[in-house]
Structure formats: C-alpha cells, structure tokens
C-alpha cells in the first residue's frame, strides 16, 4: 500500500504479502456467510511501531482474528471493544454500524505501555465495518491471479471501488486509496533436497513458489505442498513465467544445460533477484561460458548472483537454504548488507572455515 497524506508529503510504500491475501480471503468468507466483521488497516505510524504501515487484520463478530497490526495487544483491545468474546456477564457488545473511522493507539506513555507499543510509538488505524462481500471477492480473485488491484474506500459511507490502474494511492478528507499486489513469486530450477528447504522457506515468507525440473528422477520424491511443479525445459518455463519486479529466480541443478539458458532468459526480465548455486570457481566458469558462447558481457551479467546466499558458514542443505533465503529477503527489502556477509568476499578475505565444503557452502557439498 502507498499512502500520500497530502500533496506535500512523499508516498509511503508498503508491499502486499500472501498473508494479506489470506486476511482478505478469510474476511470475504465471513462476510459471504453473513457474519459481521471489520477490517483494520495501519494507515500511519509515529516513532517506533510493532507493525509497518499497510499491515491489516480482520475481526469477526465472534472474536476470530486473522492478520496482525500490533502483535497482539491492540488486537485484544479491538476484540474487547467490538465482540462478545471477552464481554463481561452483563455486557452486550457488537460491531457498530456506519462509515469507516480512524482511531489511534499509543498517544500517551500510558497507552503505549498498555498496548505494548515501543516507547514513543503511536499508530493510526482505519476501521471498516462490514466490508462488502462482493467487492472483497473481486479483490481476492484479482490478487490470486497476480494482478495489481487499487482499492478506493469512500470515507462518508464505506463504499469501495476497485480497478487495476497504477498510480500513487493516497488518503484525503474523502477517501482512502490502497494498492494491493501483485504477490511475490519464486521460481526454482531443479527439484533436489536444497530446493525442498528453499521452497518451504519461500512459502513461509509469503512467496508463491514454482519449481521446474524436466528430470523425472528428481521429481519422483518431491513433496512440498503449496509449491507448483512444472516439467518443461527451464528456459521455456522462465519465459512463460514472465518474471516481474516481484519475482526471484534461483537455479539449483548444477547442470549447465538446464541452469544457463534459464538464467540467460531471466536476465532479460525485471526479476529483482537472479542467482545460481555453485562455488566461486563454478560461478566464474558459468560467467565465462555465457560470455564465450552467448555474447554476454560483464555488464550484462552484473545482475547474476553467485555464489548465492549470505556467509553464515552453512554446511547442510537446510543451512544453505537459510543463507539463500536471507539474501533474497535482503534484496527484496532493499537492505544494503555489509561486505563481510557476501560469500565470495568473505572467502577472499580469509573468513574462518572448517573445510572446503564450508568454503563453498552452496555448491552442494562439492569442494573447489
């Protein structure tokens, strides 16, 4: 979500994750079944805040909650205010009727302490009562199809309109405009053990994960629910995948016939992360092949990462997957990492290692 509070302020950028799709899908289910519910969105923060702008949660009339806006404390307060879940013996509580409202938490030091906000932290929420089920269904369907969806809420009565137009959303005296999606995607080339760990971590991190491997012997033992398996040649799959700025592509087969062409195709895309498993030696050889046989240059290969991952002394497939996933998330979140965390630089700088396998932690256990 992007919010521009007035014409003089820069937009605040917040990305949608699969968790938000889950929140919206659950809320849609409640409303479609006739249950009353509210949608709470963090629209502004001051000082330290436990959740960023754009975080959402949905609250059902029976006290069920999905999503997070504070880590628990403010959610509990909303449940206490608006549902019967924590009502006393003689209390009658229900969700209000009416247009959306703004509320703030943590304005005073006492409130900050009460609601578990960091010192000086304040956040403002937009509460929408009984969001329209039909509009929610259209929003969820668009997000599941990988579309960018702009959602405009009219503050006078809560009426929602949806479209796929790009642009900088905003908040003013009459409406709130949010942009959701598309979701982040991960394409993994090769279906080995390392891929199983990385795919699982990708799913937990909110990515839609696709795995491609034309080799039947590797696909036979594949078992990661939620990850799509494709059997075409990797370069064809990359082309059909149509990577965008929310896509990452990682080659994990160690087979140049599969990895190289897929990586070359990926480099023609806008994917935010493109990398391949392998030691420093193997990655240097890969780059030289691409220069010698495909007329690539050092400049055209600048976005190709390898060795991939952050230097954490990884030895096992699970540890290597943690290393690679951490680097993907750092690039996604535009975090500038210290040079000491780069695998190749760490090795060239004489970082401690207990074996050649540690030295080439993402080469599948094959020493240089």
Mean pLDDT by 10 residues, the chain (368 residues): 35 48 94 96 78 86 90 83 65 80 80 64 90 96 85 94 79 84 90 95 92 93 91 96 94 95 96 95 95 94 95 92 96 84 67 41 38
168 with 25, same domain: the answer is: yes
Domain finish residue from 180, 214, 233: 180
Answer whether residue 51 is part of any domain: yes
Domain limit, last residue, from 163, 180, 197: 180
Q: Is residue 54 part of a domain?
A: yes
- Does one domain contain both 294 and 265? yes
Same domain, 174 and 207: no
Q: Are residues 233 and 196 in the same domain?
A: yes
167 and 27 within one domain: yes
**227 and 101 in one domain?**
no
What pLDDT sits at residue 360?
A: 41
Together in a domain, 159 and 201: no
Same-domain check for residues 155 and 280:
no
My answer on whether 222 and 147 are in the same domain is no
> Do 355 and 235 fall into the same domain?
yes
**Residues 217, 162 share a domain:** no
Number of domains making up the chain: 2
12: how many CB neighbours lie within 10 A of its CB? Answer: 19
3-state secondary structure the chain: CEECCCCCCCCEECCCCHHHHHHHHHHHHHHHCCCCEEEEEEEEEECCCCCCCCCEEEEECCCCEEECCCCCHHHHHHHHHHCCCCCCCCCCCCCCCCCCEEEEECCCHHHHHHCCCCCCCEEEEEEEECCCHHHHHHHHHHHHCCCCEEEEEECCCCCEEEECCCCCCCECCCEEEEEECCCCEEEEECCCHHHHHHHHHHHHCCCEEEEECCCHHHHCCCCCCCCEEECCCHHHHHHHHCCCCCEEEEECCCCHHHHHHHHHHHHCCCCCEEEECCCHHHHHHHHHHHHHHHCCCCCCCCCEECCCCECCCCCCHHHHHHHHHHHHHHHHCCCCCCHHHEHHHHHHCCCCCCCHHHHCCCCCCCCC
Q: What is the per-residue pLDDT for 66?
A: 94
pLDDT of 270 reads 94
Structural domain boundaries enclosing 336: 185-359
Residues 228 and 295 in one domain: yes
| Among 165, 180, 195, residue at a domain's last position | 180
What is the pLDDT at residue 368?
Answer: 31
What CATH number did the domain enclosing 301 receive? 3.40.50.720
């Amino acid at each position: 979500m992007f919010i521009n509070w007035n014409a003089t302020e820069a937009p605040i950028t917040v990305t949608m994750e699969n968790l938000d799709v889950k929140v919206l899908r659950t809320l849609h289910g409640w409303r479609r079944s006739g249950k009353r519910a509210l949608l709470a969105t963090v629209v502004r923060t001051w000082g330290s805040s436990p959740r960023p702008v754009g975080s959402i949660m949905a609250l059902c009339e029976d006290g069920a909650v999905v999503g997070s806006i504070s880590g628990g404390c403010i959610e509990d307060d909303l449940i206490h205010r608006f549902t019967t879940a924590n009502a006393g013996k003689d209390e009658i509580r229900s969700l209000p009727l009416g247009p959306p409202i703004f509320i703030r938490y943590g304005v005073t030091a006492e409130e900050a302490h009460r609601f578990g906000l960091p010192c000086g932290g304040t956040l403002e929420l937009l509460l929408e009562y009984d969001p329209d089920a039909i509009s929610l269904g259209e929003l969820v369907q668009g997000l599941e199809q990988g579309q960018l969806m702009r959602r405009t809420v009219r503050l006078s009565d809560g009426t929602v309109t949806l479209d796929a137009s790009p642009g900088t959303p905003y908040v003013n005296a009459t409406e709130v405009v949010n942009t959701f999606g598309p979701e982040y995607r991960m394409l993994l080339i090769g279906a080995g053990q390392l891929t199983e760990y990385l795919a699982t971590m990708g799913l937990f991190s909110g990515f839609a994960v696709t795995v491609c491997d034309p080799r039947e012997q590797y696909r036979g033992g594949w078992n990661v629910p939620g990850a799509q398996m494709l059997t075409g040649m990797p370069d064809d799959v990359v082309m059909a995948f149509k990577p965008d700025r929310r896509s990452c592509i990682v080659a994990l087969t160690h087979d140049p016939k599969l990895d190289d062409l897929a990586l070359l195709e990926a480099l023609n895309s806008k994917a935010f992360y493109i990398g391949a498993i392998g030691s420093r030696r193997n990655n240097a050889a890969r780059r030289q092949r691409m220069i010698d046989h495909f007329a690539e240059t050092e400049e055209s290969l600048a976005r190709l990462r390898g060795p991939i991952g952050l230097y954490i002394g990884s030895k096992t497939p699970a540890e290597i997957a943690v290393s690679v996933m951490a680097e993907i998330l750092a690039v996604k979140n535009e975090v500038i990492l210290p040079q000491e965390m780069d695998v190749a630089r760490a090795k060239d700088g004489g970082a401690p290692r207990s074996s050649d396998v540690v030295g080439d932690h993402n080469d599948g256990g094959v020493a240089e």
